[in-house]
């Protein structure tokens, strides 16, 4: 148990410390932050990858008929977060959030349906 806690801690550190230093370097570069359309494209491509992962997970559950080792909490949480990002995208007129929410939630909903169907909830 101590090893897994250590591995989690190292993972958190390996994300937060470099992120802090990168942000500190980029904070003063206005051209970097004003490239909104580029970031929107990158974000949208990232959401397509996430959605593809959820479709793949749903397909695996569908194919095997088993969701015993698949969390229902994670996709349900992602669905909720994407709904928030959808509303935020509309409010701020950021279509990468809007389209990303639609794309990701389509994959998440497919995955959730397959999980619930395999557990005979639906």
- pLDDT tens-place string over residues 48-57: 999 999 999 9
CATH, residue 89: 1.20.1280.290
Whether residue 41 sits in one domain with residue 29: no
28 and 45 both lie in a single domain: no
The reported pTM is 0.79
Shared-domain flag, residues 97 and 116: yes
| 100: nearest Cα among 113, 83, 76, 75 | 83
Q: Looking at the structure, do residues 20 and 74 belong to the same domain, yes or no? A: no
Please check whether residues 30 and 44 belong to one and the same domain: no
pLDDT tens-place string over residues 80-121: 999 999 999 999 998 889 999 999 999 999 999 999 999 999
* Domain that residue 109 falls in: 36-122
* Residue 29 and residue 1 share a domain: yes
Q: Which residue, 65, 75, 85, is CA-closest to 107?
A: 75
Tell me how crowded residue 8 is: count the other CB atoms within 10 A of its CB.
10
């Amino acid at each position: 148990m101590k090893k897994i806690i250590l591995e989690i801690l190292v993972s958190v550190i390996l994300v937060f410390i470099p992120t802090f230093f990168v942000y500190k370097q980029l904070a003063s570069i206005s051209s970097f932050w004003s490239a909104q359309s580029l970031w929107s494209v990158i974000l949208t491509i990232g959401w397509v990858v996430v959605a593809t992962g959820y479709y793949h997970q749903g397909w695996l559950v569908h194919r095997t008929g088993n969701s015993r080792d698949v969390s229902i909490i994670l996709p349900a949480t992602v669905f909720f977060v994407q709904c928030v990002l959808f509303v935020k995208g509309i409010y701020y007129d950021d279509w990468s959030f809007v389209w990303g929410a639609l794309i990701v939630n389509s994959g998440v909903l497919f995955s959730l349906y397959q999980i619930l169907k395999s557990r005979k909830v639906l």
